[in-house]
Structure 1
């Protein structure tokens, strides 16, 4: 447990000492892999005088401390811009959600709340001017309202809205066959 290398055949590096050099000591703080070899008495003397920070300025010492507190791993600032980007893609302006619904961007929240519908059903909702959160009964009510407005019998025989009426009928056919809407 003394740190001695019992098998070392070296002599102590202290001038004039003939004892075996069984204890190693770094030559420089800049190169901790190059060693002096000393006897027990001289390694103690060397260690008492050893100063890892000898020859370093105050700035170098402070830089060493700063790096040592983060295990010599570079750190990135925990800046507001990085947080904003990370949470913004989810529509959240309040990363800790302290503000609840008030912390969320309304446009993004609306997009997030959209159901995943097939493109034909999404197009049908647009034609019927309906919301995807509506039930089938609410959509049917909207459909009937549009048919009444667009039908030539209700417009005094005016056939100018026939194309739009066909779109509305097509859209309702898509919705009424769909499993995506509750009754």
Structure 2
């Protein structure tokens, strides 16, 4: 693949040369679809002197190299149509869907007001004597308070409240694994 055009009937465009012009070379960096036709010797000479980046700054060269990586096609911003949809859910980055925001519904207001909890979690809150809690930390405070009251070590070895203690421990297990509390 030498670039030679076997069917060319042109004469070399180099001044004073009568050889057949079988090799083409662009006339200028801005005019890449118009060519000079040279013989083999003159096309080598022309190519050795010619540079696409002559007269361009380093920034222009870097921009051209970047554009060439994608065949000079502009890339589409993937966030345009989706950004508004994610923003309605309070998510700036779509990958947050798998993070903390995945379990929150910002349209419902407070955690317990208007929120539907599974029956086991409702029962757990009743056992822990918690009317309204938004975080696991608040529920844990109530759990610790009940443990201190019900545990036999805190009551001088009295085991009469052991069944109630087991219910409190069960209730905390339900809440600590829950996704409904922060």
Could you state the TM-score of these two structures normalised by the residue count of structure 2?
0.49
